[in-house]
Structure 1
Amino acid sequence: MAKRGYHHGNLREALVEAVLKLIEEKGPTGFTLSEAAREAGVTPAAVYRHFEGREDLIAEAARQGYEIFGDLMDYAYDGGKPSALAAFEKVGRAYLAFARRYPGHYVAMFESGVSIQRNPDLAAAADKALGVLQKAAVKLSEHIPEGRRPPPQMFSAHIWAMSHGVVELFARGSPGTKSPFPPEDLLESGIGVYLRGLGLIPPDK
């Protein structure tokens, strides 16, 4: 009988799948390397053929997450269509959708304590994903004279933080937290208030 998780012969991917399952069930620090190996259907020694250890395995899960995340963000941005503001809002909603659909990857990326600088591949994937939001910010501010526009890196970081806060408080079922509004509406209205405050979009009439 083939070992569970390893029947297809791709040990590396079986281990990533195992660690994602364990992260969802127990959190990023709630399992051992031996448990990940057992979940994948192999011995702990087999893990070291592909990974240096537990954190290296979590880093690979995070790298894959950033790849998926970047593709979703890029698809949502779609070159700034139909408008820079609409694209910015769609990127924010893509963040919420990713957190819901890929909880194991999300935790590996943002809550595991593994640095995005752990290896070049992880850093490149993270930079690409975060770059989508910065690209959207540049497009949104280009109608303002250069000497008066706020730094795109600054307000893209603020929108990133706002998106992350909405996800953490209201989109992941955190105990004791409940909003009378859908997370998407909270984020969209927050983005609008913030961008109007910076003068990047016209005020409501």
Structure 2
Amino acid sequence: MRCVGEKGEKSGSFFGRGRDWRTRVGVLQERLSDPAITSRACKPKEVQMTAYRFRVKFDPDPTSLWRDIVVGENRTVEEFQTAINRAVGLDHGHLWFVGTDEDYWNSEVKYECTEAFGETPNLGGFGFDEETYDASETTIGEMVRQLELEERDRLCYLYDYGDEWRFYAICTEIVGDESSDREPEVRKRKGDPIDQYGASNPRET
């Protein structure tokens, strides 16, 4: 059975028993004026803001060919690699990996293309145990944390296990005002793109 107050108001309500409509409006106004409540209700979703700026240099001639690339921490290592190749004139038909410092085949940690992940033997020949990750499943932020990268630290990038096009990337800036979802973008460049099949790799000359 429904209980009714003196003036026909429902009792036991959220506003308390026996309060008329003016009292209810007053309670609502009081609550809406409470900053603690309105800030929770109106607070927008926070946007993550962390990106990294890398200067990617062509190892055989680092002063003549380089690209500055900014990439959000939520983007994958594979997306970063795709941007590098597009920026320097390489195709996307060969195996590759990103490694530590300028260690290349001697890298103790490698972020491999999906086709090579878990399939490629250690070609460095030094017999150490290496950690490998799928570059398509690893974000830039995860890689940075795993390698404990800081500004001025380096990564290496090797493309094409036959011709071995070698690059290294210096982390020049941790950018706090770029979205974590920022797609890789070339911000600065020097040098003409590589003529991948029209000239020999400088490492081989």
User: Radius of gyration: which is bigger?
Assistant: 2
The TM-score, its normalising length taken from structure 2, stands at 0.28
Give TM-score, length-normalised by structure 1: 0.28
Q: Of the two structures, which has the highest relative contact order with CA contacts closer than 8 Å and spacing of 6 or more? A: 2
Higher helix fraction (1 or 2): 1
Tell me which protein shows more strand as a share of its residues: 2
